[in-house]
C-alpha cells in the first residue's frame, strides 16, 4: 500500500492542515525549514539515523547523521550571524554537490537569511546577473569556483563576504574568509530564527523569454507542499534510501533533494558526480537505493546505454521511481518497466510552483507519456489563451493553469512585481506550458507557450544567450532557439550574422561556443551554430525567433506578415 | 606518446575548462569527466577542438568516461580517428 492510498479519496478530502499537523505546526511548533529538516528529526528520536550518504567524484564516501546535520547547520548559522548577516539578507550558495551545500543551506535558513542557490557551472556573466539582481550580501563557494566570483566582485556593491569552504591555506583577498564546517566550533545550541509562514526562505532564479532571469521568491510555508508531495508522490517511508539526482542549484535539488526528504527524516544519497550510467547503476546497487527521482534526459541516456549494462547490476532494491524536468516519453516509461522492472512516474511542476503540482502516483495506473493528475489541494486545468477560461472540451489544447493559494507557490519575482502580476489571469496562475486533459483527468504535455529553451530539464532564456553572443567581437546579430533533440528534449541552436570583416569558419564556431559557455553555462552553450548573412526581423526590428524555429523544425510557417508585426 | 599533442590538449583543457584561481592541476591521467572538470554538454566543444586541430572525427558515442576520461585516452582516440593517417 502506498502512502497516498486512494488518490481519488485523498483528492476529494484534502486539506493542507494535514501537513501542518504532521509537522506539529498546530501545536505551535517552530516552522523554520532549517529547524524542521534537522533539529526536529533529532527531537523525534532520529538523531543517530543517517541523513546523508555522500560519495565524492573519487568514490570517497561520507555519512552524516541527523545530529551531525543539526550541529553543523548550527555552525553555519552562527558563522553567518557572526559575520553580521541579518535575517532577510541574501546568501548565495555556489557549490558543487558537496555536503557543505546541503548543510549550509539549512544553516542559512536557521539564522533567518534567504538562500539563493545557484548552479555551480554558471559562468561569470550568469552569476553576476543573478547576484546583482538579488543584492546578495554573501556567497558560499569553493576554490574551484572562486575565480568567477573574484572577476565580478568589484561590480557587486552589496557583496561583502565571500566564504570559501575549502579555503584554508589558500591566499585570500579582502572580504574573503575560509570556513570548514567540520573543523569549525561545534555549535550544540543555536537560537533558531523565529519565522512566520510568510518569511522568505529561498530565492531561485529562472529564465524567461525576454529580459533577465527572474528570482522566484519562496517562503517557509512552502515546506507544507514539499513535505506532502514527497510523502505521497515519491512515497518515502522511514526505512528508504532515497536518491534525487538533481543539483540544488535548481529547484528540484532543494525541494526534493533537501527539504522534502529531510522534513520526513529520510536517509538520502548524494553523488557529487554528474550523469555517468555505469556509476549510477553501481550506486543504486551499492547503497541499495529504494526510491529514485531523476530527469527524463537521464532516463533516455540510460536507455541509450542499453539493456546489457542494466543487467550487470543488482537493482532489486528499487521500489519506486519518478522523474521530472521535461515530459517523459511513453517509450521511456515502457522501457523502464521492461528492463528495470519499474515504470518511472512522471510529474510536473516548475520553479514558481515550489512543489509537484501534477503527478502520476504510486498505486495509480500510469498512462505512459502523461504527466498524471493534479496533486490533492491543487486545482489545475487548461485555459484558452485569450480569455483564460477553462476549456471544457476533452482533449483540447490550452494553457496549464493553477488556482493560486497552495503553500509552496512563489510569492513574487524579486524586484519584479509587475512580471509576477502578469502571470495571473482571470484568477488563475498561468504556468506557460500547453497541455490537454483526457476524459479521465490525466494531463498531457504539448509544449511551452513561449521561447524558453528546455534543455535536459533546465530552462534557458534565449534573451540571455543572445545578449552574451552579441558581446562576442565577431557577432552583429544573434538568435537562440531550442532545437528538438532526442535525448535532451532541446539543445541550444544559435543563428548568427557576422560583423563585416569576419568570415564563417569552424574556428569561429568553437570560439563562439566556448565564449558563451564561460559567460553563461554549458547548458546555455550553443550545441549548433548556423551563420547567415542576416536574420529575419519584424517591422520594428525584432529578430523573428519563432520563424527561425519553424524553419528549423519544418513546421508550417504560414503567413509571416503577422510575425513581422510582432 | 606524442608529447606535443599531449601538451596541446592539456593546454586547451586548462585554458577552456579550468579556472586559474582554482589551483586545480591536471596532467594526462587526470580524470576529466568523472573528476567533474568537463561536463557532458562541454564535450561538444572538446570534440570540435580535436576535429579542427587534428582532423579527428571522434563519434559522440566514444566521448564517454570509459574511453574519453583522460588526455591519454583522448589521444588514443585522436590517433584512431585521424583522417590524415
Cβ of A339 under 8 Å from any chain B Cβ? no
| Chain B environment of A169 (Cβ under 8 Å) | none
Q: Which residues are A484's β-sheet partners?
A: A490
CATH number attached to the domain at A7-434:
3.40.50.12780
Query: Do the Cβ atoms of A207 and A490 come closer than 8 Å?
Result: no
Whether A211 shows a pLDDT value over 60: the answer reads yes
* Closest in A57, A509, A518 to B48, CB measured: A509
Nearest CA in chain B to A519: B16
Q: Which three cell numbers stand for residue A71?
A: 550541529
**Residue B84's pLDDT is what?**
65
Spans of chain B, pLDDT less than 50? none
Q: Which residues of B touch A525 (CB under 8 A)?
A: 41-42, 44-45
A558: left (phi over 0), alpha (psi -120 to 50) or beta: left
Q: Which of residues 46-85 of B touch A (CB under 8 A)?
A: 48-49, 51-52, 65-66
d(CA A255, CA A105): 12
CA A295 to chain CA centroid, nearest Å: 11
CATH architecture for the domain at B3-81: Orthogonal Bundle (1.10)
Could you tell me how many residues make up chain B? Answer: 85
Mean pLDDT throughout A486-512?
95
The predicted pLDDT at position A538 comes to: 83
Q: How far apart are CA B47 and CA A270, in angstroms?
A: 29
pLDDT of residue A559: 60
Closest in A144, A456, A522 to B22, CB measured: A144
Q: What's the half-sphere exposure (Cβ side, CA atoms, 13 Å) at A17?
A: 4
Helix (H), strand (E) at residue A272: none
Q: What is the model's pLDDT at position A531? A: 97
Nearest C-alpha of chain A: how many angstroms from B1? 26
Considering only alpha carbons, which residue of chain A is nearest residue B20?
A147
Best B23, B45, B64, B69 member to test A by mutation, with max A CBs in 10 Å, is B45
How distant is the Cα of A142 from the closest Cα of chain B, in angstroms? 8
Cross-chain residue pair B45–A525, CB shorter than 8 Å = yes
A contacts of B30 (beta carbons < 8 Å): none
CB contact under 8 A, A527 and B65: no
Residue ranges of chain A assigned to CATH 3.40.50.12780: 7-434
Question: Is the distance from CB of A181 to CB of A103 less than 8 angstroms?
Answer: yes
Contact between A522 and B42 using a beta-carbon 8 Å cutoff: yes
Weakest-pLDDT range from A36-45, A371-380, A463-472: A463-472
pLDDT at A314 over 60: yes
Is residue A52 within 8 A of residue A257, CB to CB? The reply is no
Residue of B nearest to A143 (CA): B22
Q: Which residues of A touch B65 (CB under 8 A)?
A: 276, 278-279
Say yes or no for a CB contact (<8 Å) between A506 and B48. yes
- Across the interface, whether the CB atoms of A146 and B21 are under 8 A apart is answered yes
A289-296 mean pLDDT: 96
The whole-number average pLDDT for the span A512-539 is 94
Which set of grid coordinates corresponds to residue A537? 526581423
- For residue A119, give every residue at least 6 positions away whose Cβ sits within 8 Å of its Cβ, in sequence order, or none: A247, A249, A250, A458, A521
**Which pairing describes strands A358-359 and A241-244: parallel, antiparallel, or unpaired?**
unpaired
DSSP designation for A485: E
Q: Is the pLDDT of residue A112 over 70?
A: yes
Cα distance between residue A132 and residue A536, in whole Å: 33
- If pLDDT is split at 50, 70 and 90, which confidence band does A471 have? very high
Averaged pLDDT for residues A61-88: 98
Hey, are the CB atoms on A527 and B44 less than 8 Å from each other? yes
Mean pLDDT of A401-420: 97
Min Cα–Cα distance to chain B from A145, Å: 7
What average pLDDT does this structure show over A477-499? Answer: 94
Residues of B in contact with A272 (CB under 8 A): 36
Distance of CA A380 to the CA centre of its chain: 21
Query: What residue ranges of chain A are covered by domains with CATH 3.30.300.30?
Result: 453-564
pLDDT higher than threshold 60 for residue A324: yes
Angle at A238 between CA A235 and CA A241, to 5 degrees: 75
Report angle CA A382, A385, A388 to the nearest 5 degrees: 65
- The ipTM estimated for the assembled molecules is 0.92
Look at the domain A453-564 and name its fold: GMP Synthetase; Chain A, domain 3 (3.30.300)
Residue A370 has pLDDT above 80, yes or no: yes
- Average pLDDT of chain A is 94
**Within an 8 Å CB–CB cutoff, is residue A275 touching chain B?**
yes
Q: Considering only CA atoms, which of A286, A279, A289 is closest in space to residue A322?
A: A289
The three-class DSSP label of residue A267 is strand
Helix, coil or strand: residue B2: coil
Amino acid at each position: 500500500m502506498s502512502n497516498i492510498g486512494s488518490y481519488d479519496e485523498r483528492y476529494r478530502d484534502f486539506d493542507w492542515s494535514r501537513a501542518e499537523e504532521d509537522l506539529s505546526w498546530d501545536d505551535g511548533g517552530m516552522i523554520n525549514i532549517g529547524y524542521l529538516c534537522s533539529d526536529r528529526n533529532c527531537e523525534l528520536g532520529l538523531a543517530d539515523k543517517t541523513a546523508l550518504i555522500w560519495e565524492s567524484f573519487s568514490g570517497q564516501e561520507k555519512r552524516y547523521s541527523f545530529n551531525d546535520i543539526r550541529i553543523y547547520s548550527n555552525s553555519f548559522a552562527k558563522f553567518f550571524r557572526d559575520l553580521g548577516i541579518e535575517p532577510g539578507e541574501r546568501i548565495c550558495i555556489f557549490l558543487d554537490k558537496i555536503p557543505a551545500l546541503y548543510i549550509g543551506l539549512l544553516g542559512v535558513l536557521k539564522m533567518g537569511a534567504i538562500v539563493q542557490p545557484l548552479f555551480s557551472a554558471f559562468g561569470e556573466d550568469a552569476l553576476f546577473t543573478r547576484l546583482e539582481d538579488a543584492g546578495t550580501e554573501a556567497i558560499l563557494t569553493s576554490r574551484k569556483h572562486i575565480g568567477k566570483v573574484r572577476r565580478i566582485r568589484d561590480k557587486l556593491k552589496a557583496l561583502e563576504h565571500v566564504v570559501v569552504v575549502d579555503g584554508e591555506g589558500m591566499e585570500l583577498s579582502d572580504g574573503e574568509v575560509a570556513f570548514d564546517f567540520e573543523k569549525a566550533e561545534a555549535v550544540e545550541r543555536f537560537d533558531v530564527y523565529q519565522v512566520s509562514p510568510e518569511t522568505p526562505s529561498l530565492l531561485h532564479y529562472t529564465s524567461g523569454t525576454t529580459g533577465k532571469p527572474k528570482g522566484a521568491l519562496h517562503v517557509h510555508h512552502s515546506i507544507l507542499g514539499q513535505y506532502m508531495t514527497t510523502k505521497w508522490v515519491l512515497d518515502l517511508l522511514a526505512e528508504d534510501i532515497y536518491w534525487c539526482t538533481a543539483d540544488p542549484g535548481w529547484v528540484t535539488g532543494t525541494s526534493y533533494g533537501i527539504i522534502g526528504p529531510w522534513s520526513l527524516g529520510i536517509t538520502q544519497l548524494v553523488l557529487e558526480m554528474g550523469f555517468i550510467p555505469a556509476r549510477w547503476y553501481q550506486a543504486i546497487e551499492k547503497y541499495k537505493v529504494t526510491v529514485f527521482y531523476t530527469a527524463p534526459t537521464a532516463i533516455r541516456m540510460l536507455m541509450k546505454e542499453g539493456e546489457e549494462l542494466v543487467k550487470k547490476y543488482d537493482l532489486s532494491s528499487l521500489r519506486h521511481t519518478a522523474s521530472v524536468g521535461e515530459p517523459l516519453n511513453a517509450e521511456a516509461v515502457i522501457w523502464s518497466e521492461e528492463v528495470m522492472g519499474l515504470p518511472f512516474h512522471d510529474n510536473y511542476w516548475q520553479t514558481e510552483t515550489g512543489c509537484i503540482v501534477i503527478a502520476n502516483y504510486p498505486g495509480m495506473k500510469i498512462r505512459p507519456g502523461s504527466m498524471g493528475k493534479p496533486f490533492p489541494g491543487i486545482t489545475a486545468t487548461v485555459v484558452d489563451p485569450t480569455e483564460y477560461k477553462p476549456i471544457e472540451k476533452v482533449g483540447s489544447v490550452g494553457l496549464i493553469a493553477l488556482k493560486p493559494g497552495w503553500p509552496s507557490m512563489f510569492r513574487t519575482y524579486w524586484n519584479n512585481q509587475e512580471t509576477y502580476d502578469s502571470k495571473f489571469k482571470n484568477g488563475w496562475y498561468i504556468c506557460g506550458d500547453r497541455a490537454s486533459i483526457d476524459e479521465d483527468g490525466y494531463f498531457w504535455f504539448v509544449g511551452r507557450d513561449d521561447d524558453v529553451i528546455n534543455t535536459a530539464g533546465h530552462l534557458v532564456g534565449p534573451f540571455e544567450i543572445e545578449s552574451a553572443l552579441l558581446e562576442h567581437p565577431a557577432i552583429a546579430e544573434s538568435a537562440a532557439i531550442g532545437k528538438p533533440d532526442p535525448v535532451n528534449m532541446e539543445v541550444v541552436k544559435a543563428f548568427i550574422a557576422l560583423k563585416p570583416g569576419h568570415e564563417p569558419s569552424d574556428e569561429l564556431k568553437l570560439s563562439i561556443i566556448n565564449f558563451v559557455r564561460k559567460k553563461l553555462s554549458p547548458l546555455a552553450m550553443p550545441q549548433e551554430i548556423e551563420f547567415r548573412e542576416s536574420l529575419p526581423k519584424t517591422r520594428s526590428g525584432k529578430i523573428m525567433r519563432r520563424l527561425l524555429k519553424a524553419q528549423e523544425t519544418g513546421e508550417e510557417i504560414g503567413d509571416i506578415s503577422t510575425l513581422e508585426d510582432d | 606518446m606524442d608529447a606535443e599533442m599531449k601538451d596541446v590538449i592539456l593546454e586547451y583543457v586548462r585554458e577552456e575548462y579550468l579556472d586559474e584561481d582554482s589551483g586545480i592541476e591536471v596532467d594526462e591521467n587526470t580524470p576529466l569527466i568523472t573528476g567533474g572538470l568537463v561536463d557532458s554538454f562541454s564535450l561538444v566543444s572538446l570534440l570540435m577542438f580535436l576535429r579542427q586541430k587534428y582532423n579527428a572525427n571522434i563519434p559522440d558515442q566514444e566521448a564517454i568516461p570509459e574511453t574519453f576520461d583522460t588526455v591519454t585516452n583522448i589521444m588514443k582516440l585522436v590517433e584512431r580517428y585521424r583522417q590524415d593517417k
